[in-house]
Structure formats: structure tokens, C-alpha cells
Amino acid sequence: MMKFDNERFNRGYQGHFPEDFLWGGAVAANQCEGSWLAEGKGLDLASCFPDGIHHQYRGHPQPGRYYALENAIDFYRRYKSDIQLFREMGFKVFRTSINWTRIFPQGDEQQPNEAGLQFYDDLFDELLKNGIQPLITLSHYETPMGLVEKYGSWRNRKLIEFYTRYCEVVFTRYREKVKLWITFNEINNMRRNPDYVAGILFREDETNRAQVVYQANHHMFVANAKAVQLCREIIPDAKIGCMLASSNVYPNNCDPVAVFETQDLRRRSLYFADVMLRGYYPGYIYRQWHDNHCHIEMAEGDLPLIKQYTNDFLAFSYYKTTTHEAGQPFFGDTGGDIGTPNPWLKTSDWGWQIDPLGFRYTLNELWDRYQVPLFPVENGLGAADKVEDGKIHDPYRVDYLRAHLQCLKEAIRDGVEVMGYAYWGPIDIVSAGTGEMKKRYGFIYVDKDNAGQGTLQRIKKDSFEWYRRVIATNGAEL
């Protein structure tokens, strides 16, 4: 049971970030590590989308084609010096994922790959040595292709067993090192992109796609609950969260039809957290199943397990908002739902509408609904930076960040409990949406272009110093 922490609230109410607030940054293994088949590693799902999530699955890597993820930013070999830069900024937390295929290359082995386990041991040691806590995503679009091809990925109940085996191995191995975990990255993107998120890759005989997706969701919910159970048993002092992509959506106007449909659209995302945090399927999902002629197969014991093992916190990404007009179809891209433009907001180089107050709105919305600690683990601005005389002036990134952090501070004053803030892509990495290097989020520039040319040299941008000061003053100076 959560207890209301009066002191924490009072400090927040006065406009201070909590003393133990976890400032930091976030990446995903596949987007930064490179060495994509090194030391026994298998092929992961993300590697088969060389043009990013917006484009289709391209199958196994083809010889002669350029793949940005093959070497990415070579974090696999350069993490020590990169961590020095994070330390210089004062990071308290660093979110990355374990690439599942470094541990279980095909996914169905009985024994893990020791070289992969050793790599993450070294990485976590290096973080801890520098006073940075690892926050680890267990699956960030990195399902082993072996499981996709042999078993049909998450549509198959067997995946629960493979995922659970993987969790048990890494919880046991890193029990002394990792106290913060996330089960699945942005699990609600299953609705928008089941191929990328969970390797669904529809088959010709599957006419009822909703059935396949809801069934796969169910398997993931059971896997999530089992991960929570294992984590409690193996690392009792750890916290294990679930995660949503939570870029939000507003009604485009006051037409009640638009308002009602927007609520419906929003629930298509919230449903995932409803199950994992409240511990049961909400009524509106039974209606969805009914309306879509879905019959979800469950094993005895699934629902009690989901009920008993709910997550400790809610991690979420937030980049932008969009609007929904009555009658408009529901679809989206990497940033979230795509709707109609909002004339009140400015737009990034990649068409994402920048909405700091929407961040405060979303924090309040999620807190009201779940009453569990929140952790924004992705927020940031992707832009086409220019190097001039060896320098990168990025005032637009500072503006984005300042505005969002001011709203975060206000949300804490509103009484929302927030564990920390992890900026997305503190060092430039490969974009998940487009597969580009050009879409840069970093405080640290990486010299590599879309064609793979460059020295991989790291250069601090102006925003580096700005974020360093924010952390040094615990957010007093924004």
C-alpha cells in the first residue's frame, strides 16, 4: 500500500524537486550499441526494420544494404567514455535496455550466452562506479527473431515461458546491481504497430487481426505479471514498472462526438496500464472483444496472477500531443496518435507538435487514474542540428526542455508523485521511427550521418551545460 508522504508533498508544493529525484537520460540497446551480432548475439526484431518503425519489416539483413543499427553509435565499445560524459552532467539514473538477444540469441535456448551477460555486468558496474543507477527495460522492441520465426512471437503462449526464463536469468545475475526495471517498452504501441512492438507480422490466414493482437496482449500481460512475481522473489528491494507511450490526444473541438471518441481513443492506450496496474481487464475491453468477435484464450490462473502481481510504478514516454476530430480514423506513428493539427502549438522538424502543458496534463491524468509513482522515462526534442566551427548551438532543445521541466515542476506542486526524469537520447542515437541519425535528441553530438559516414566523435552541444546546471541545482534553476 502506498502511504502519503507528507514531507515529500510539502516540498513539492513549495516548488522543489524531491531530494532523491532521479535526473538522467534514456536510450535503448538496439539504437545505440551496434555490434549487432557480436559475441554470440542473435538477431533482434528492431534490426529487421532498417528504415524505422514507419516503414515495414524487411526480413533478415541483406548483404550490400546499409544498416544504421549494425554499428549504431558503437556504445557497445565506447560506453566507458560516454558514461564519463553522463557523469559530468550529473546523471543519477541511466535507462537502457538489455538486448534480449545478447542473453538468449534465438530466444528458446535453455542456457544463456555468457558473453552477453558479462557485457551488461561490465556496463552496470561502470554506471554504479560513477554514481548512476541503471533503470533497465527488459524488452525494447528486441524480441529474438528466433522466437518470431519459430513460434510466431507473442501470438504464441509459449513466449511467456521464454520471456520468464530470460527475466529469471537477468534478475538473478544483476540482483545486486539493478533495482529499477521496466517490463516492456511502450506496450500500448501494440495497437499501432504490433509488428515492431511484438513481432506479430500478420499471416494470410489471419482475417481477424484484432483477435491476434488482443490474444498477444493477453500473453504479454501474463508475462508482465510473472516478471513482477519473479522480481519480488529475487530482488525484494527492487521496483518494477510497466510502461506506456503516453503522448496525449485532445478533442479537436467541443463537438461531444469528438470528445467521446477521444476518450475512446485514449482508452486504447490506457487499457494496458489499467490491466497491469489495477490488475483486471476493464469493462470497456470486454465490449471491444465482443464487438470485434474476439475470443481470448486464457489459462486457469491467468486472471488471479494478473490481479496479484501489479507493477510498482508507471513509466511513460511523452513527446507531443495531437487532436481528434469526430469520425476521423484512429491511427498513429512513433510519436503517438496522429490526428488533426493543433493551431495553438508549434511543430518540430519532424512534425511533432510541442506541448509542455500537455505534459503536466498527462502527469495529472495518469496520477489521478492510478495513484502509483510516475516516471517519465522519455521526453525530448529530435532536431537536425548543425555543427558550426566544431560547436552545436541548440537553443531550441533548451527551450523544449525548460518548458517541459517547468511543467513537470508544476505537476509535482499539483501533488503528483514523480520518481525522476529521463531525457530521451541524451547522446545522439539512431531514430526508432525513421532509422535516421539525422533526427538528433542528444546533449552530446555524435559525428555520423544518415549514410553512415563520420568519425563517431562525441561533441558536447550547448544544451549539455544547461542540463548539467539543472541537475546541479536539483531543478531550482530552469
Where in 134-173 is the site for ligand P53 (CB under 6 A)?
Answer: none
If one asks whether residue 322 binds ligand P53 (CB under 6 A), the answer comes out as no
Q: How many residues bind ligand P53 (CB under 6 A)?
A: 20
Binding mask 266-295 for ligand P53 (x = CB under 6 A): ------------------------------
Which residues have C-beta within 8 Å of that of residue 388, sequence separation ≥ 6? none
Half-sphere exposure in the Cβ direction for 85 (13 Å, CA): 22
Strand order in the sheet with 180-182: 374-378, 313-317, 239-245, 180-182, 133-137, 93-97, 22-26, 420-424
If one asks whether residue 245 binds ligand P53 (CB under 6 A), the answer comes out as yes
Q: 46 is written with which cell numbers?
A: 528492431
SS3 396: helix
If one asks whether residue 186 binds ligand P53 (CB under 6 A), the answer comes out as yes
**Angle between helical axes of 75-89 and 114-129 (0-180°, round to 10):** 20
Q: How far is the CB of 294 from ligand P53 (least distance, A)?
A: 23
Burial of residue 158 (CB within 10 Å: 0-12, 13-18, 19+) is: middle
Catalytic, out of 33, 142, 261, 378: 378
If one asks whether residue 320 binds ligand P53 (CB under 6 A), the answer comes out as no
Per-residue H/E/C for 133-190? EEEEECCCCCCEHHHHHHHCHHHCCHHHHHHHHHHHHHHHHCCCCCCEEECCCCHHHH
- SS3 breakdown of the chain: % helix, strand, coil, rounded to 5? 40, 15, 40
If one asks whether residue 376 binds ligand P53 (CB under 6 A), the answer comes out as no
DSSP 435-450: --SSSB--SEEE---T
Interface residue with ligand P53 among 97, 247, 269, 321 (CB under 6 A) is: 247
Closer Cβ to ligand P53, 86 or 424, answer by number: 424
Residue 436: active-site member: no
Closer Cβ to ligand P53, 377 or 418, answer by number: 377
Interface residue with ligand P53 among 99, 113, 143, 185 (CB under 6 A) is: 185
Residue 70: active-site member: no
If one asks whether residue 188 binds ligand P53 (CB under 6 A), the answer comes out as no
Q: Which region among 75-83, 147-155, 333-341, 462-470 touches ligand P53 (by CB under 6 A)? A: 333-341
Phi, psi of 273 (to 5 degrees): -70, -35
If one asks whether residue 433 binds ligand P53 (CB under 6 A), the answer comes out as yes
Q: How far is the CB of 314 from ligand P53 (least distance, A)?
A: 15
Q: Do 139 and 185 touch, CB atoms closer than 8 A?
A: yes
Beta bridge partners of 374: 314, 418
Binding mask 37-56 for ligand P53 (x = CB under 6 A): ----------------x---
Closer Cβ to ligand P53, 144 or 442, answer by number: 442
Catalytic, out of 33, 186, 261, 417: 186
Q: 80 is written with which cell numbers?
A: 566507458
Closer Cβ to ligand P53, 71 or 188, answer by number: 188
Phi, psi of 121 (to 5 degrees): -60, -50
Q: List residues binding ligand P53 (CB under 6 A).
A: 28, 31, 53, 185-186, 189, 245, 247, 317, 334-336, 378, 382, 424, 431-434, 439
Catalytic residue numbers, as ranges: 186, 378
